[in-house]
A and B are shown apart, each in its own frame.
Chain A
Amino acid sequence: MAQRASTASKKSPQAGSQAGPQISPLVIKDLHERMVRIRLFETEAGKLMEAGKLPGFLHLYVGQEAVAAGVMAALRDDDQITSTHRGHGHAVAKGVGFREMYAELYGRVTGACLGRGGSMHINDLTRGMLGANGIVGAGVPIAVGAAFAARYKGEDNVAVTFFGDGATNIGAWHEGANMAAILGLPVIFVCENNGYAEFTPQSAHMLITDVADRAAAYGMPSVIVDGMDAVAVHRAAAEAVERARSGAGPMMIEAKTYRFFDHQGVKGLRHPYRSDEEVAEWKTRDPIDLIEARAVADGTATRTELDDVWQRTRDEIAAAIAYAEASPLPDPADLLLNVYSG
């Protein structure tokens, strides 16, 4: 488990599943259910894609569920998030409905973007989901703007921006981090370090091991957590959110995690950029297996209760897919809808 404080940080909170205050059983169940919902949404989406039913790209979140679940469980509906090209997990964990998500993947007019955005642009303003984003790093400044708006309006909501290890090499990330820091805005920077920028391993795209070190350059505290441990992520997120909400400024969380599926789709067809052994080793620490083992071990939930969550979710997903498939396609006559306001 990689837990350490960034040495250069102003503040270096420790966060992990075994440390800190007791976690409520309700939170454990909540984290579990969010992860199961993500897992099933993504695996079903992968099947639909492989069956040729979905147009476009699909960047699946399987393996990283603990990060989205851990952070989102610490947020309110009016807290804002900006997401990435791998955004389904964030959307599901933030509470966006299966029906509008699947309908969007199908390109139906009932989708979250009326069929105009697709996988990489799912949003739900009622849930504070400011959108996935097709441009790496682009969500970072937007989250800064959302946080600015909250403070400007005297509201106490915060903004969370998710990004991968690769995104911290792009200018917008650095500009956004510095801007949030200098303006003291309530932004939580969550790095989902899955070790790869698309197909390039971290060691080939930056010389540092911990992305969290970059926060120091902007005078921003950071913490590194086990991204397969939802409870650890949650504890770190809860502290960062509380800190930001209190007006103490931005903070960065680096969650070390892993992408079980390929960059795009389920299974890579070309360049073997990572070994089967590496994938298998990470899968021994499947975040859902970890939380279920913990829940059963400490008596938080029975196996049956956990299985009920899976079944309930499967049923909900089957209904959502049926809804999406039955939904009407957009009318080409409405092609120009929403290009402009007014």
Chain B
Amino acid sequence: MTAMTVTTTTTEAPAVATRKLSYVKAFNEGLAQAMREDENVFVAGEDVAGYGGVFRMFDNLLDEFGPRRMIDTPISEAALVGLGVGAAARGLRPVVDLMFMDFIGVCLDQIVNQAAKMKYMFGGALSVPLTITTASGAGLGAAAQHSQSLEAWLAHVPGLKVVMPSDAYTAKGLTVAAIRDDNPVVVMLNKVLLGSTGEVPEEIYGIPLGQAHTARQGSDVTVIALGRMVGEALAAADELAAEGVEIEVIDPRTVQPLDTETMFASVRRTNRVLVVHEAVTFGGLGAEIAAQIQDVVFDYLDAPVLRIGAPFSPVPFSPVLEKAYVPDRARIAQGCRRLLERS
């Protein structure tokens, strides 16, 4: 098997100084820089100003930007997102924070029926440059109402964009790009990754939305991994490399719009593909990706597209159950071996 191992996290980074920064600080820095860049950017949400966000996502922003641009709101997600929609329709660039992604259930109308459709139904008369930030994912023992990855719900809605930062570099770059984008964008930060560190450029940069990133090149299996699963896939790739198997890891970064061309090109070379995400397998992005792959590059497949996701159950609380629930590097490696199995 051809050995071509390039692990990168900063390939698009401009040639400037980088330093190690945590995922949450990278997000915070990108947000602060975007606020400095554009006076129309403000942040509204529960405990975002005075407290700095329950995950310290908004630390120190009140000090710099003051209460005019850092707004603590009541626990009213529908009104919060609606405030963002109305303000965006009137030319501002709101960043509204939903704290936990699970809470979108109480404001889906404003996201799905209002923010996403406004431009379309208004005949293009306006744009809704709204950014919704939220923390997703299991792994912290937060149980079923505070641990979900619901990207498939949102990616299903025309008019929305959805990004899933997989490391510190993307946490900053995708957040900046989301704020600069003229559409409603949901930024799905991952709770487990908040403290993880990576090289992050000091200056402001946006990562193009809708462009997948090949996090590792390989010739044997394409692994398409969302959010936190990118790191797990890279770890699985290291493990498999020791067995002489070269895994290509694709990080879509944006799940809506989805860069399928990068996936198709990879599958044409590897002929085997695995999609992994934290969300439940049924009806997840893996189903969409698998469908598109069979539609376009069916004739290049040597094995059925394999999906790895969570079982069809709420996220369990007890750590032993939660560990069994969330896909990990071992399951990814096992899936790759299964795809490559020959007698």
Contacts and interface: CB of A to CB of B under 8 A. Distances in A.
Interface of A: 80, 82, 111-117, 121, 123-125, 130-131, 133-135, 138, 140-150, 152-153, 159, 171-172, 175-176, 178-179, 182-183, 337-342
Contacts of A134: 113
B143 interface: no
Contacts of B80: 141, 175, 179
B254 to A, nearest CB: 12
A112 B71 contact: no
Contacts of A182: 73-74
A117 B84 contact: no
B124 A337 contact: yes
A175 B76 contact: yes
Contacts of B306: none
Contacts of B87: 145-146, 148-149, 152
A145 B125 contact: no
Interface of B: 42, 68, 71, 73-74, 76-92, 94, 106, 109-110, 113-114, 118-129, 158-159, 161, 181-183
Contact of A138 (B90, B91, B106, B113): B113
A178 B89 CA distance: 21
B165 to A, nearest CB: 21
A88 to B, nearest CB: 16
A130 B181 contact: no
A339 to B, nearest CB: 5
Contacts of B181: 341-342
Given A112-B123, A117-B123, A121-B122, A144 B106 contact: no
6 contacts: A123-B125, A140-B79, A146-B89, A179-B80, A337-B124, A338-B120
Given A135-B113, A338-B124, A141 B89 contact: no
B123 A145 contact: no
Contacts of A116: 120-123
Contacts of B79: 140-141, 144, 172, 175-176, 178-179
B78 A141 contact: yes
A179 B89 contact: no
A138 B110 contact: yes
A179 B74 contact: yes
Nearest to B160: A340
A152 B71 CA distance: 11
A292 to B, nearest CB: 35
A141 B83 contact: yes
Contact of B73 (A82, A179, A337): A179
Contact of B83 (A113, A179, A339): A179
Contact of A113 (B71, B78, B122): B122
Contacts of A143: 86
B90 A338 contact: no
B86 A130 contact: yes
Nearest to A118: B121
B82 A340 contact: no
Contacts of A171: 78, 106
A145 B88 contact: yes
A124 B123 CA distance: 10
Nearest to A144: B83
B182 A341 contact: yes
Contact of B158 (A80, A147, A172, A339): A339
A243 B42 CA distance: 26
Contacts of A145: 82-90, 94
B78 A175 contact: yes
A123 B119 CA distance: 11
Nearest to A338: B124
Nearest to A100: B123
A150 B74 contact: no
Counting from the closest, the 7 A-B pairs by CB-CB distance are A141-B82, A145-B86, A175-B79, A114-B123, A149-B90, A341-B182, A175-B76
Given A114-B123, A342-B181, A144 B159 contact: no
B132 to A, nearest CB: 13
Given A338-B120, A338-B123, 7 more contacts: A123-B123, A131-B118, A142-B85, A149-B87, A149-B92, A172-B110, A339-B159
A149 B71 CA distance: 13
Contacts of B159: 339-340
B299 to A, nearest CB: 28
